[in-house]
Structure formats: structure tokens, C-alpha cells
Structure 1
Amino acid sequence: MRTVRQLYRYPVKGLSAEPLTEVALRAGEGVPLDRQWALTNGSWTFDAGSYTPRPKTDFIALMDHAALASLATRYDDADNCLHVSAPDGRHLRIDVDDPAACGGLARFIAQHINARLEGPPAFVSGEGFRFTDVSVLSHGMMNAVSLINLATVREVGAALGTDIDPMRFRANIYMDGGEPWEESSWLDREVTVGEVRARVVMRTPRCSATNVNPVTAERDMTLPATMMERYGHRELGVYLQVLDGGAIAPGAVVTPLP
């Protein structure tokens, strides 16, 4: 039986995952607070009033900055604060509604990644949009929910002769109990996940962010290139668009519909 093994949100694009014990999804919307904030890379100026989705290369993200994986972050819903801990023991508590605090976080991140940026980065958010990798495709895709089949991850790892940490793929839903690669055949089909009904709308192409070890923050694999060489593609996982909302928790049954 296919069931949900784990659920995650990623409040800040490129920063660490937060496990969820339950998530309530609404039709046409993504996981609440997923990719709600992001850090610009200093090459452009963010304006919430005129913002249109931009490619992930315009943000500070794992594909270019592996050191982000060494930061432990947690968003506190009750206090509306982001907690950031660095390997050297430094800890920041950021009120995400305080512009000065957000500016301090952006400077802290720039110092931590030790990269030459085109300009000062900014910690940004916006009402009504989220900073997902596929936000540039459409409003619907911006709110898509990502799903990983753990059987596929294990099969790829076995084929490559190594264990692959599933967290490299930064998905919202991790499913187990299915067959390897079966999710790839669900494109344009509907699935139920617990109380939720959704449509599989896209296979997920993988970028160099998956090369970063989420535990050590080292770039120790070449997953997209190796997958392309072995399978002729670099897709792993799928995106879902929520049709009927409801609650999902670990243990929820995942069923592809005819």
C-alpha cells in the first residue's frame, strides 16, 4: 500500500526543511508557508507590488551555494519569527515583519555563503505568491505540491551503488510502498492523498541542488548528470495540483485513480 511517509515545508527558499505532523491543503493552493520567503542574489531589486515570478538563478539557492545546507532554520508560526542557527553556534531570531531584522538576516546569509554577489541581497516575501522553482511556468504551478516516491530514490541509489538521502530532493510529500518510477506514469492522472484529490501535472526535473549533501553541506554527487547518462533524463518526482482540499498526515494512503 502506498502511504505518506513524511511531510515537509520549506518556509525560506533554499533553507532547511521543516517536518509537519499534518497539513491542510486547499484547492489551487500549495503547502501553507512553503517557499513564502526568499533571499535575492543582489542582481535585481524586489518590489512586492510589481513582482512577477523570476527564475531560481535570481535567488540565493542551493544550486549555487552549498553552504546554505549547513544552516538550521525554523519558522515559529506563533511568534512570526524565523530562527537561524549556524555551525559556529551563532543564532538569529528574526521577526519577519521587521525590515531591519530582515536586512540583518540577508547580510548574515551573504557572509555565511562567502560568495561574490552583484549587489546586496534582500530577504523578501509577498502576498499571494510563493518562490517555488516552477513559479515561472504559471500561477497554478507556483502553487503545486511536490511528491517523491521513496522507492524510486532507493532504485536510483542501487543503480548508482550508493545510498541517496531523499532530503536532497526537497519535496513536500514523501511516499513509500509503491513501485520504483510508477509516479512518472501518473502524468495527467488524478490521485488521492488522504482526503486530498489532486492531478499530477509535471515530472520534476532535477538541478545541481541535489548534488549537495543536506547533512554535510558538501557537493558530493553529480545526480542530474549521472541520471541523464544512465536514464536519458533527469526527472525524479512529480508535481501535484490540488483539486479538492483536505488534511494529510503521515500514514495517509496515496491512490492513483483510473
Structure 2
Amino acid sequence: MARVKVGEVRDLWRYPVKGMAGERVATVELGPQGTLGDRRWAVRDTARAEIQSCKFRPDLLRCAARLDPDAPGGVAITLPDGRSVGVADPEAAAAVSRLVGHASTLEPLRPADDAVFYRRHGVGDGTWLAELKATFEREPGEPLPAILDAFPPEAAEFVVRPGTFHLVTQLHLLTTATLAHLAALDPVSDWDVRRFRPNVLVDTGRDARGLLEQAWVGRRVLIGDAAVACVDTTPRCGAITRAQAEGVVADTGVLRTVVSRAAQNVGVYGEVAFGNEVRVGDGVFLDG
């Protein structure tokens, strides 16, 4: 089957600190761990001894992180008050702790065999699942994602995939067709792409319609000289409703529309099949 062009790369994003807003860039390197520089640090709750995300600490989204070789730890964080601080600077942990209301540290990735570092809080007493379900913020009568009732044992034990700060896969892909479709269904809500935290936003052109990338699940997408296997759709939680750095406003309407009109999903999860540099403007093709 021939390759079919589905669009071009419009935006590339990386998120150097898990749970924080990220940075739009012109080029990225895709490799075994996903986007180079993506999710290399995370906030860890001291009392819970657990890595946190914007699901559980939504105020993290009010911070923006970017790679900066001159900053302590190689990442600069812009705080809600406009100050910039290196991720390894003690003031960063102090400021984040004040922001989220819980004593926290900022930690770099550790080896996959450091199981304790990646383990969920409350695994033994089962409270973790109830806490996770609550983050999806469903109203009465709205369904929860089916994945919550079929967690593999490793996902039940660890808050992220050990050796990474990713929950499911290393990449998230989204199309302009999906954003336009949702905006047409609900023109009152704010469909800013930053709510959905993609690594790659694919411009599928004016004529593309619907939740286009959901049909890519089970197929490979070629992006420039790299390839990504699309493995599943992306169920959405309350994080997409939150205010973010750089003017993204709080809007609960987006979640109601996603649940009722998009089968709870926006975008697709991707695994890097083979890596290479990817650039804004690169063609995007379905492979066979």
C-alpha cells in the first residue's frame, strides 16, 4: 500500500519538566526516549514519596519550562510571577512547593531499576485508583475511560513507566483537523492547542474533517525521516480545563465537549519506531 500524505508538521513541543507548560521549537530529535529533552525532570511530593503530574498538581501548568544549558540542571523554569530559576536551584523546589501547597523536590530521571522512585503512593491499600479516577473530573452520568478498569500490573504499581517520566508512551500527536472539529462543535470554548500538550501538531489542511488521527491507531506515521507507531487514543482528564502559563485560561467546557462529542479522546499516543531529526514543515505520511 502506498504512503499517503496527511499533512505537515505545524508545531513541535517539548516539556522538560513533567506537568509544566513547555516550549515550542523548530526542530527536535526523536529517539528511544521520545523527544530529546522532553520530561527529563519531575516534581516529587516529599510526604507521598511520589512523582507528580498536572493531573494531581494542576498549578504546575502555571509554570513553563525550557531547555537552557546555562541554567542549573540545564532547564529554566518561568514561575507564575515571571521569575526564571534553574530546575536544580534550591529556590525552584521551594517555589514549586509554595505553588502546589505540598513540600516537593525537583528530580531528574533515574535508572529504571530504581523501583521505589517510580512507585505509586497507596499501591498497598488501593487508594491510588480512586485518586486517579477523581482526576478525570467526570460529572454524574459521564463515563470514565475504559483503560482505568484494565490497568496492567506495572501501570498499577508505578506512576510512570520506570526509567521515564511518561505515563503511557513517549509521544503525543494531534491534528489541526481535530481542533477545528471540536471548535465547530463548541465554538464557545477555548481550544488552544497548549491544553492538550502534544509533541507534534500536524497541519492536515482546511479540507480535513473530524477526529482524523484516531483512525491512525494501529498504523505507522512517517514524520520527516522518523517513524512513529500510533498505539492508542488519548483519554482526557481535568487537566485540559486548567489555566496555564502564557495566557491559557481556565475553561471547563472543553472537557464536557470532549467527553460527550469525542468519545473522551483528543489525539493519539505514539511510540518511536525509528528516530531522526524532525522539523516544522516536514511532511507527515501514513505508511501503508
TM-score (norm 2): 0.71
**Letter of the structure 2 residue corresponding to residue 125 of structure 1:** P
Question: Which among 254, 258, 261 is matched to residue 230 of structure 1?
Answer: 261
CA distance in 2, matches of 1:141, 1:196: 22
- Deviation for aligned residue 1:128: 4.7
Match of 2:212 in 1: 182
How far did residue 64 of structure 1 move?
Answer: 4.0
Greater Cα offset, 78-87 or 194-203: 78-87
Q: Which moved more, 1:138-147 or 1:73-82?
A: 138-147
**One-letter code aligned to 1:126:** L
Code of the residue aligned with 1:186 in structure 2: it is W
AA matched with 2:272 = V
2:27 matched to 1:22? yes
| Matching residue within 43, 53, 62 for 1:39 | 43
Asked whether the 8 Å contact 1:8–1:19 carries over to 2, the reply is yes
Render the CA deviation track for 1:57-98: whole Å, top value 9, x for unaligned.
x51x3334443333333221355433233343433234x3xx
Matched residue SS, 2:34: coil
Gap runs ≥5 in structure 1: 47-57
CA, structure 1 residues 230+164, in 2 after alignment: closer, same or farther (shift >3 Å)? same
Counterpart contact for 1:39–1:123, Cα < 8 Å: yes
Name 1:86's counterpart in structure 2.
79
Q: Give unpaired runs (5+ residues) of structure 2.
A: 1-5, 113-117, 119-157
Q: Report runs of 4+ in structure 1 exceeding 6 Å deviation.
A: 137-141
Matched residue type, 1:175: V
What whole-Å deviation, never above 9, does each CA across 1:94-129 have from its counterpart, x for those lacking one?
4x3xxxx3x43222112123x3x3xx2121122456
Task: Tell me how far 1:31 sits from its aligned partner.
Answer: 0.6
- Residue 94 of structure 2 aligns with an amino acid whose one-letter code is R
Query: How much does 1:161 deviate?
Result: 1.7
- 1:87–1:182 distance in 2 versus 1, CA, 3 Å: closer
Aligned positions, number: 232
The whole-number CA distance in structure 1 between the counterparts of 2:97 and 2:178 is 35
Q: Deviations over 1:30-53 (max 9, x none)?
A: 11121111102334336xxxxxxx
Pairing 1:67–2:94 present: no
**2:91 is aligned with 1:104:** yes
Share of identical aligned residues, percent? 26
Does structure 2 retain, via aligned residues, the 8 Å contact 1:70–1:217?
no
TM-superposition CA deviations, 1:173-215 (whole Å, max 9, x none) = 0101253312101111111111012211111111111001334
Match of 1:123 among 101, 106, 110: 106
C-alpha displacement of 1:5: 0.3
Mark the CA change 1:138 to 1:254 in structure 2 (over 3 Å): closer, same or farther.
Answer: farther
Residue in structure 1 matching 2:252, options 214, 221, 244: 221
Structure 2 CA distance for partners of 1:68 and 1:23, relative to 1, 3 Å: same
Give 3-state SS (helix, strand or coil) of 1:4's partner.
strand
Superposition TM-score, scaled by structure 1 size: 0.78
Equivalent pair of 1:9/1:34 in contact (CA under 8 Å)? yes
Residue 30 to residue 134, structure 1, CA distance change in 2 (3 Å): farther
Moved more, 14-23 or 188-197: 14-23
Question: For residue 68 of structure 2, what is the aligned residue in structure 1?
Answer: 76
